[in-house]
């Protein structure tokens, strides 16, 4: 907001000023628009907040909603919220529902889902979201109603390995853990992988491609992924190890199997 002097009087924190214009009426002058603006393309009806896009407002909004739509900017918010509604005669807009997650590391996340069929809501609340985005979920809420909660202090874990792995200096970035040559994963078991002090959660699954159960990030091998869990672990048949996108060399590595704990 600006400080201004008008006709000998001083005013502070003025967001805008209305002045008479030639020919009648007034015209409003604003301080410079917020610097942190972003553009947005909208294809679904609903309410949109620039805060959710980590911005002060929208400098340009493109609306492409099937059946046509109208756009209303809420007054005096610098575009911090946009309300999109279907044009008359078009298909009704889906209702926006809010999914809210709290995590063990005390961070939170809000996700929006658009639907009108109550069966979709029932399907959501029928899930057990023990993890989301590789984080332990302590609370999950749909439209403000909690359907899942978890107390991490009730968990018990068995440490299967706590040492180091030596990642090869090659495109495959292979590593082996001879101490675990007899370890074979069972699909559905929950594991905690700690690499260089960072914890990741993984549920063992069966790979039809490699015909083995595994934990970690299989995309490392199938897609060359360098995001998410940095290791892919399984039993080779005569040895245990895996592949990684970690830098070559030694890394602190810990494997824990979940024994008890849950909602």
DSSP character string of 16-67? EEEEE-TTSSEEEEEPPPPS-EEEEEE-S-EEEEGGGGTSSEEEEEEE--TT
Contact 81, 48 (CB under 8 A): yes
The answer, yes or no, to whether residue 43 has pLDDT greater than 80, is no
Q: What is the pLDDT of residue 114?
A: 85
**How many angstroms separate the CA atoms of 103 and 107, rounded?**
5
Q: What is the pLDDT of residues 200-243, one digit of tens each?
A: 999 999 998 889 999 999 999 888 888 899 999 999 888 999 99
**How many angstroms separate the CA atoms of 149 and 128, rounded?**
9
Distance of CA 103 to the CA centre of its chain: 12
The answer, yes or no, to whether residue 105 has pLDDT greater than 70, is yes
Domain boundaries, the chain: 1-32, 37-86, 96-150, 156-260
pTM tops 0.75: no
**How many angstroms separate the CA atoms of 228 and 223, rounded?**
13
The answer, yes or no, to whether residue 69 has pLDDT greater than 50, is no
CATH fold of 156-260 reads mini-chromosome maintenance (MCM) complex, domain 2 (2.60.320)
Q: Which residues of 207-241 are buried (b: 16+ CB within 10 A; e: fewer)?
A: eeeeeebbbbbbebbeeeeeeebbbbbbbeeeebb
Least confidently predicted of 69-83, 122-136, 243-257: 69-83
How does the average pLDDT of the chain come out, rounded? Answer: 81
Q: What is the mean pLDDT of residues 85-109?
A: 76
Least confidently predicted of 49-53, 94-98, 242-246: 49-53
Best mean pLDDT range from 49-58, 98-107, 149-158, 176-185: 176-185
Q: What contacts 263, CB < 8 A, 6 or more positions away? A: 128, 130, 148, 149, 150
Which is it for strands 57-63 and 37-42: parallel, antiparallel or unpaired?
Answer: parallel
Contact 253, 160 (CB under 8 A): no
**How many angstroms separate the CA atoms of 243 and 173, rounded?**
6
Nearest to 179 by CA among 194, 196, 159, 199: 159
Q: Residue 215's beta-bridge partner residues? A: 233
Q: What is the pLDDT of residue 82?
A: 47
């Amino acid at each position: 907001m600006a400080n201004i002097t008008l006709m000998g009087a001083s005013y502070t924190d003025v967001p805008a000023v209305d002045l008479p214009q030639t020919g009648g009426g007034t015209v409003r002058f604003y301080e410079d628009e917020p610097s942190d603006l972003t553009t947005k393309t909208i294809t679904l009806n609903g309410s949109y907040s620039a805060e959710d896009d980590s911005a002060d407002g929208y400098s340009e909004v493109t609306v492409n909603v099937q059946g046509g739509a109208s756009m209303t900017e809420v007054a005096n918010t610098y575009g911090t919220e946009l309300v999109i509604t279907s044009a008359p005669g078009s298909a009704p807009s889906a209702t926006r529902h809010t999914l809210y997650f709290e995590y063990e590391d005390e961070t939170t996340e809000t996700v929006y889902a658009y639907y009108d069929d109550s069966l979709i809501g029932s399907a959501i609340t029928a899930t057990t979201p023990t993890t989301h985005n590789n984080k332990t979920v302590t609370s999950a809420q749909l439209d403000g109603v909690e359907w899942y909660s978890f107390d991490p202090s009730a968990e018990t874990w068995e440490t299967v390995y706590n040492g180091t792995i030596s990642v090869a200096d090659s495109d495959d970035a292979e590593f082996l853990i001879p101490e675990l040559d007899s370890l074979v994963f069972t699909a559905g078991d929950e594991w905690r992988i700690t690499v260089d002090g960072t914890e990741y959660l993984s549920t063992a699954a069966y790979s039809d491609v490699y015909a083995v159960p595994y934990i970690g990030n299989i995309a490392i091998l199938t897609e060359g992924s360098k995001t998410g869990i940095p290791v892919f672990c399984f039993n080779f048949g005569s040895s245990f190890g895996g592949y990684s996108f970690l830098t070559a060399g030694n890394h602190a590595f810990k494997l824990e199997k979940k024994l008890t704990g849950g909602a």
